[in-house]
């Protein structure tokens, strides 16, 4: 598992919330830890201007599309890792990430449908 994915898993285990928004610098999915929004790749706080509610961030077809692409790419990477892992602990981590990513995709679909 690469560092970025590991970091995401750690964040989620620590109770961080995966946002439906991506880092303006690297396009990685952002996480909310308590009040802070952080990028697991740049490893720094991201300030999202003014209205940072999830709905506001999601309100834009382009952003949704970008998230969908990022997630789909991640799922593909994870899927490839999954086939050569046998360690139960790692498998659980990968499966957890997968289900989270799939949930995000599902949410995107729902948001699209509700427009």
Binding residues for Zn ion, rule: CB under 5 A, are: 23, 25-26, 28, 39, 41-42
Q: Pick the closer one to Zn ion by CB: 70 or 81.
A: 70
- What is the C-alpha separation between 6 and 63, in angstroms, rounded? 24
Least distance to Zn ion, CB of residue 31, Å = 11
Q: Is 48 helix (H, G, I), strand (E, B) or coil?
A: coil
Q: Pick the closer one to Zn ion by CB: 30 or 97.
A: 30
Q: Which residue is nearest to Zn ion (CB)?
A: 23
Least distance to Zn ion, CB of residue 24, Å = 8
- What is the C-alpha separation between 5 and 78, in angstroms, rounded? 9
Least distance to Zn ion, CB of residue 64, Å = 19
Q: Pick the closer one to Zn ion by CB: 24 or 61.
A: 24
Q: Is 60 helix (H, G, I), strand (E, B) or coil?
A: coil
Helix then strand then coil, in percent of the chain rounded to 5, is: 55, 15, 30
Least distance to Zn ion, CB of residue 41, Å = 4
CB 68 within 8 A of CB 26: no
């Amino acid at each position: 598992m690469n560092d970025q994915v590991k970091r995401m898993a750690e964040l989620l285990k620590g109770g961080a919330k995966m946002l439906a928004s991506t880092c303006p610098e690297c396009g990685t999915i952002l996480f909310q830890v308590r009040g802070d929004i952080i990028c697991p790749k740049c490893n720094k706080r991201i300030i999202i201007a003014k209205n940072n509610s999830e709905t506001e961030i999601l309100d834009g077809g382009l952003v949704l599309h970008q998230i969908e692409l990022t997630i789909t790419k991640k799922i593909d990477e994870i899927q490839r890792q999954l086939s050569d892992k046998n360690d139960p602990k790692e498998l659980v981590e990968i499966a957890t990430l997968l289900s989270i990513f799939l949930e995000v995709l599902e949410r995107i679909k729902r948001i699209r449908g509700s427009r």
